[in-house]
Amino acid sequence: MHRPVAEDLGDIGPAVQWADDRAAAAGIGETVRFAIQICLEEALANLILHAQARAGGKDIAVGFAADSAGATITVWDCCLPFNVTTTPIPAMPSLEDMQEGGQGLRLLRHFSTELSYRSLDGRNELRMGFRPAAGMVT
């Protein structure tokens, strides 16, 4: 199942809620659902604020799938390619130099347990897997 996402920051919250409702219905625990929320919000905000459409609109959509091990969130778009799995993460700034923003790649790589990206026929696909860690309280 998937949900289109408008090119508007105001649609991020409803899209994240949509995914969270499905995760809750699938029995996904709160800790994993929190990770899903953080990563999906970050991925969508970056697309809306920073991505450049190839032609026409960005055509953003979110998909959700659950299985006995956890959940997978997929984000599709028609923007210029940007591979979050291979882009280097900048060094962590000092507390004095820290600004809001700029930590998206770090968040995606920290909170997801699987991360893959591909660009094919003008459409990008970011897959984020979320599985409870051994011993994690869900």
- The answer to whether position 43 is within a domain reads yes
Packed helices 30-50 and 12-25: angle between N→C axes, nearest 10 degrees? 150
Supply the range of the domain harboring residue 31: 2-90+101-130
Query: Strand 60-67 to strand 70-77: parallel, antiparallel, or no bridges (unpaired)?
Result: antiparallel
Q: Is residue 31 part of a domain?
A: yes
Percent of the chain with pLDDT over 70: 83
- Asked if the structure places residue 58 within a domain, the reply is yes
For 29, the token pair is 């625990």
How many domains would you assign to the chain? 1
Q: Within a domain: residue 54?
A: yes
Lowest-pLDDT choice from 22-31, 41-50, 99-108, 117-126 = 99-108
CATH number at residue 40: 3.30.565.10
Q: Is residue 63 part of a domain?
A: yes
φ, ψ dihedrals at 33, nearest 5°: -65, -35
pTM: 0.86
Q: What is the pLDDT of residues 77-90, one digit of tens each?
A: 999 999 988 866 66
Does residue 14 form part of some domain? Answer: yes
In a domain, 137, yes or no: no
Residue 75, token pair as written in the block: 């984000």
For residue 125, being part of any structural domain is answered with yes
Closest listed residue to residue 15, CA positions, set 5, 30, 7: 5
Q: Is the pLDDT of residue 133 over 70?
A: yes
Tell me the mean pLDDT in the region 64-87: 92
